[in-house]
Structure 1
Amino acid sequence: MVLLRRIAPVALLAVAGFVTPATADVLRFSHTDNPGGSRQAAAELFAQKVEEYTDGRHTVRIYPAGQLANDPKAVEQLQLGGLDFTVTATGTYATHLPTLNITTMPYLVDTYEQGWEFYDNSEWLQGEFAKLPEKGMRILATWEAGFRSFTTKGELASPAEAEGHKIRVYPNDMIRWTMEALGFQTVILPIPEVYLGIQQGTVWGQENPVDTIYSLRFYEVAPHITLTRHIYSPLPLAIAESTWQELSEEDRDAIQRAAEEAAQFSRETVRAAVDRQLEEMASKGATVATPDVEPFREAAEEVYAKAREAYGEDVDKVLADVQAIRDAMPSN
């Protein structure tokens, strides 16, 4: 495997007749969103704040659209110290800490607010995140992508219409179990290959949050958008543990602050943009449908039994956390 190396410090700069230290450590940030997407916008804000809050000691160079790595490879590079930051769905990190798969159980939360409360304050989830430094990465904050829905080549009004069709998934057991429970055949594809995979007929469609569907233009090749909102899919931002250990306490605090401010920006941006994005996609030929989700919920119920078989009592700990949140923050 090729190990990506940290870019060397830049030279000293002469400013107004005197030399100012500018030996900024350039940190690499890889993600798979396109330029112009909300992830890129949050990354740009994060980079700006890192430079500001560290007084220029650290700068962040962003590599969008999978230029350096797809999501699973970016997480691997974090572990190796070849990347400094990435932001991806929780299920991607679950490859290295399988219990995180539990967070992607179908229909776990109904609203953004419920999801934010779970990711920020669930005692169970914070305990799982605390295990990740042993795996070579550390979660700084949770950014937003939204609720996963479908884009397909044909209508998908109920699970019955999924039968016999191939759907793209990423390497995550819970996502795969959910798609199979709905009747799909699953095909693993890295996200940079999904557009072409749909276009060439390798798969009939894919599932992702509206923000991702819009940013990566999946609606162009799979124009039926079905808003099942079957899985809440936010984006934890991670730093390589090797990078973290090299930072001073002052710079750790600065980068943590930047991550949290970018997370708030990400959450506000994604939630506010969904209706506009759907309208724009519809204006370009997509069909947007909001089905009765009860048949989808019922079909997905078997996934909970599979989760209990795989992860035992942790599943019920998560469900208890979520139920407490639902009781305190009802959907209606």
Structure 2
Amino acid sequence: MKTIRYTLMAAAATLTITAAQAQTVLKFSHTDQQSGARQAAAEVFAKKVEELTQGRYVVRTFCCSQLGNDPKNIEQLALGGIDFTVSATGSYATHLPTLNLTMLPFLVDNYQQGWKLYDESKWLKAQFDKAPEKGFRFLSTWEAGFRSMTTKEPLNSPADAKGKKLRTFPNEMMRWTLEAMGFNIQIMPLPEVYLAIQQGAVSGQENPVDTIYSNKFYEVAPNVTLTNHVYSPIPLAVSEKTWQKFSEADRKAVTEAAQIAATFSRELISGNDAKQLAEMTKKGAKVNAKPDVEAFRKAVQPVYGQAREKFGADVDAFLKDAEMVRASTK
């Protein structure tokens, strides 16, 4: 009996080791908070990957910049140090410079137009198709929302922005836009922003509502101004080195999981803005839902000229796609 028992135990141990060896853990790094919508979508993605690959792949999520900020995550993605990341389209511009143009101000007016632009723009698809040669590829477009301002002092027009120091992320087009509005720009990693505002190093920052809410920026910069100056979705990307290891069936499964998570992300973000703004108001934020947007639009007009000087015909190709989207959804 002892011999049989030991044999069964050994067989069970062998099966456990074999199962562990058969299961591959994939690393997904991003900069959002544990309570943020990005993390919620990442959890949906991870669950679907495991389900659709019959457990062969398990996605482990690292939130809150644990493995690096956005530029570092994208660098590691290209090198194969991590398997997935999700970040603002403009963050990928270090590797694909034309993606700076996705940060042009006031391209679209609402979520439906934004989704249509990212799903149907031929110009944007052509840029995304260049990604594999840079070490990663785009799987789907998740949502983050429209970028707005949180500042210590009230902000209603470019006149209020003049000379104020504002934090943003490292993107050339965003810098041009905010400088055209009158701000002095300070680049810094997201985890440092709350303390920088609290200590007076900057007077505010700009980000989508969900990011403002999950990072509690309204606590230190209570004036939330809905400029909606840039539409800022967050494409999900996979390392090309990881992608090449997948079988055709697993590529299909991972892509399907990415699309399911994208739909979840879009519905979550677009449905959360009003609720999050109401919650911030309850906690002391002063929401300016109707700033002088036309004044901001006028102030940023030179940015399109700067973009044309650097990117040439690509600017008007993308602007044409955006105009077609706006015209078709009025």
Q: What does the per-residue CA deviation read over 1:121-146, in whole Å, with 9 as the maximum and x for residues that have no partner?
A: 11110100000111001000000000
C-alpha distance in structure 1 between counterparts of 2:262 and 2:11, whole Å:
32
Q: Secondary structure at the match of 2:48?
A: helix
Give aligned-pair identity as a percent. 60
Partner amino acid for 2:73? A
| 1:3 matched residue in structure 2 | none
Task: Tell me if 1:21 matches 2:27.
Answer: no
C-alpha distance in structure 2 between counterparts of 1:155 and 1:204, whole Å:
11
Task: Tell me if 1:153 matches 2:152.
Answer: yes
| 2:70 matched residue in structure 1 | 71
Gaps of 5+ in 2: 1-9
Q: What does the per-residue CA deviation read over 1:89-128, in whole Å, with 9 as the maximum and x for residues that have no partner?
A: 0010011111001111000000111111111111110100
State the Cα distance separating 1:21 from its structure 2 match. Answer: 2.7
Partner amino acid for 2:182? G
Number of corresponding residues: 318
Partner amino acid for 1:326? R
Contact in 2 for aligned 1:13/1:21 (Cα 8 Å): no
The TM-score, its normalising length taken from structure 1, stands at 0.94
| 2:129 matched residue in structure 1 | 130
Q: Secondary structure at the match of 2:105?
A: coil
Moved over 4 A (4+): 12-15, 17-20
| 1:296 matched residue in structure 2 | 296
C-alpha distance in structure 1 between counterparts of 2:185 and 2:311, whole Å:
22
| 1:88 matched residue in structure 2 | 87
Q: Secondary structure at the match of 1:21?
A: helix
C-alpha distance in structure 2 between counterparts of 1:192 and 1:120, whole Å:
31
| 1:58 matched residue in structure 2 | 57
The 1:224/1:53 distance shift into structure 2, 3 A limit, reads same
C-alpha distance in structure 2 between counterparts of 1:13 and 1:130, whole Å:
48
| 1:245 matched residue in structure 2 | 244
Partner amino acid for 1:201? G
Alignment of 1:235-314 (within 5 A): 235-290=234-289, 291-314=291-314
State the Cα distance separating 1:292 from its structure 2 match. Answer: 2.3
| 1:6 matched residue in structure 2 | none
Q: Secondary structure at the match of 1:186?
A: strand
C-alpha distance in structure 1 between counterparts of 2:26 and 2:11, whole Å:
19
State the Cα distance separating 1:18 from its structure 2 match. Answer: 6.6
State the Cα distance separating 1:202 from its structure 2 match. Answer: 1.1
When Rg is computed on C-alpha atoms for both structures, the one with the higher figure is 2
C-alpha distance in structure 2 between counterparts of 1:130 and 1:246, whole Å:
19
State the Cα distance separating 1:303 from its structure 2 match. Answer: 0.6
Query: Over aligned residue pairs, what C-alpha RMSD do you find?
Result: 1.5
State the Cα distance separating 1:13 from its structure 2 match. Answer: 11
Higher relative helix content: 2
